[in-house]
Amino acid sequence: MTNTALREPAFPDAVITEAIRWTEETGPLDDAQALRIAASRASDGHARITERALHLGERIGLPSEMTRARQWAPWVLLGLVALIVVAGLGLAGNVVGGGERHINVIVALVSLLGLHALTLLLWLIGLWLPAGSFGTASLGWIWLSLTARVAGGKRGQAPLLLRATTGLLTRARLLPWAFGLVSHGIWSLSFAVVLAAMLFALAFRSYTLNWETTILDPAFFVRAVQVLGWAPSQLGFPVPDAATVLSAAPGAAGQRTWAMWLTGCIVVYGLLPRLALVLLSAAVWRSRRKALQPDWSEPYYRKLLARFAALAPAAIVDADPGRTRGAAPARLAPSELQDALFVIGFELPPDMPWPPTALPVDLLADAAQVLRIDGSAPARRTLLDQLAQARPRAVLLVCHAASSPDRGTERFLREVLAHCGECRLWLADANGAGAAGRWIDWLRDTGLERITASDRLDTALQGLSAP
């Protein structure tokens, strides 16, 4: 990632972030390592969440699935365009390819514009209705769904990426415009093909154009031709007059007028609206694309931000000879804790047996982990990763009473508190009350008074029992 802390996530990153959110709805992923990597690579909370999602997504194959979908998308679109072109040619052939070379202009106009008008009306209605009301009927949705199916199949991750993509588009109010950009573009190409085929046939073959009816009054057709021809006439297309419309066999000039009237109606009512909507959809996309990012106010993301905040180390200035009282560590929510107990020996003398014989056997048997670490950086990282994954209800920390706590001890205790419900400190091998008092004063001065410390094991274990 490049400068993730200085920008909002790009759209592919946002899709993977949302896909991880949907994945974790069925259960949290093991993210101890991902949290630590994200915290080290980014300083902004949103960028950290994105880094975490990219790390987890890499583990389950989301980036490769997205790359495959982006490679297939142009080919799927090209296939759709080819089908539309073939359909357009077939439609034009039905209009001008009859053996009798007789064209009913009204039937031809309805055939060429009917489905277009219906789908355009549904798209316009969909702009004011809830997302998805008519979206699945658009060519854009068909293209996106086919791309997901071809790229990932039913068992791949592409359907998950499709869900995340449509969710982001819906939140940014771009779903109908994104699908419209694809759909209107395909319709524009279809009308261009139909017009080219029609003009070629009308230019080099002779046709008879008129209208027919059994129940309608001829005056209706005169009026309809005049009304439909008004808009094309503004662009220079001729409109048949009443005599031409009512004539049973108009001459060559009348046939040319009919042909140009039909062509003008297709251009004005078919091609031009679709081209205009392509430009409008592109403009809306450009104006709203910055909103294509996750909803950071979701409880899921707020919980992640809280977990990152809990990982933040205390700001300690080693050069300061005095003691600075640190902020109280953040607590995990009760719903985040598991009913488990960790028993940890920290920086104990080498000759001190582990586990201490004074610890109750049943407590050791029922504890989730009984560990001893020497305080080295690798040992601390391993323990903290285990705590981050387990999130135990309580931790019993065993320390040597004669040892002197330092800033390293303070950082370690703060990190332990960030991953558990409560922490108890048993000061083993205390020769007098002075050692315990020194530890208790130090905990108070550093803002760690949440930790109950005592040189008496029964006091340290009071109210604390293994699950």
Q: How far apart are CA 31 and CA 401, in angstroms?
A: 35
The amino acid present at 178, given as its one-letter code, is: A
317 falls within a domain: no
End-to-end CA distance of the chain: 43
Return the pLDDT at 352.
86
DSSP string, 333-360: PGGG-EEEEEEEEES--TTS-SS-TTS-
76 falls within a domain: yes
Same domain, residue pair 295 and 339 = no
Same domain, residue pair 276 and 386 = no
Same domain, residue pair 165 and 75 = yes
3-state secondary structure of 138: coil
Q: Tell me how crowded residue 377 is: count the other CB atoms within 10 A of its CB.
A: 8
**Full residue range of the structural domain in which residue 203 is found:** 60-308
302 falls within a domain: yes
Q: How far apart are CA 299 and CA 296, in angstroms?
A: 8
Return the pLDDT at 229.
92
123 falls within a domain: yes
Return the pLDDT at 269.
95
Point out the domain boundary residue: 273, 308, 343.
Answer: 308
In order along its 467 residues, the chain shows pLDDT tens digits of 333 333 345 888 899 999 999 888 888 888 888 888 888 888 888 889 999 999 898 888 888 888 888 888 889 888 888 887 787 667 766 666 555 577 888 888 888 888 889 889 888 888 877 655 445 557 888 888 888 888 765 556 777 888 888 889 888 888 889 888 988 998 998 899 889 888 988 888 887 887 888 888 889 989 999 999 999 999 999 999 888 888 877 788 888 998 999 999 999 999 999 999 999 999 999 998 888 889 888 888 888 888 888 776 544 444 444 455 666 667 777 888 888 889 999 988 888 888 888 888 888 888 888 889 888 888 888 888 888 888 888 899 999 888 888 888 888 888 888 888 888 998 888 776 677 888 888 888 888 888 888 888 888 888 775 44
Two tokens at 181? 């950009």
Q: How many domains does the chain have?
A: 2
Same domain, residue pair 258 and 381 = no
Q: Tell me how crowded residue 455 is: count the other CB atoms within 10 A of its CB.
A: 22
Q: How far apart are CA 212 and CA 460, in angstroms?
A: 100
Return the pLDDT at 3.
36
Point out the domain boundary residue: 264, 291, 308.
Answer: 308
Neighbouring-strand partners of residue 344: 371, 397
Return the pLDDT at 260.
93
| Nearest Cα residue to 185 out of 112, 281, 288 | 281
322 falls within a domain: no
| Contact partners, residue 10, CB within 8 Å, separation at least 6 | none
Angle between helices 377-390 and 407-417 (to 10 degrees): 20
Same domain, residue pair 188 and 282 = yes
Neighbouring-strand partners of residue 396: 343, 424
Same domain, residue pair 408 and 294 = no
| Nearest Cα residue to 107 out of 257, 224, 254, 199 | 224
Residue 49 region by backbone torsions, left for phi larger than 0, else alpha for psi between -120 and 50, else beta: alpha
Two tokens at 223? 């009026």
Same domain, residue pair 257 and 345 = no
Same domain, residue pair 135 and 260 = yes
17 falls within a domain: no
35 falls within a domain: no
Two tokens at 458? 């029964």
Strands ordered across the beta sheet of 422-428: 369-373, 338-346, 392-400, 422-428, 452-454
Same domain, residue pair 303 and 387 = no
Same domain, residue pair 151 and 226 = yes
Same domain, residue pair 256 and 167 = yes
Return the pLDDT at 270.
94
Same domain, residue pair 114 and 210 = yes
411 falls within a domain: yes
Are the C-beta atoms of 34 and 55 separated by less than 8 Å?
yes
Outline where DSSP puts E strands in 70-207: 102-104
The amino acid present at 224, given as its one-letter code, is: A
Where residue 392 sits, what CATH number does that domain have? Answer: 3.40.50
Q: Tell me how crowded residue 307 is: count the other CB atoms within 10 A of its CB.
A: 22
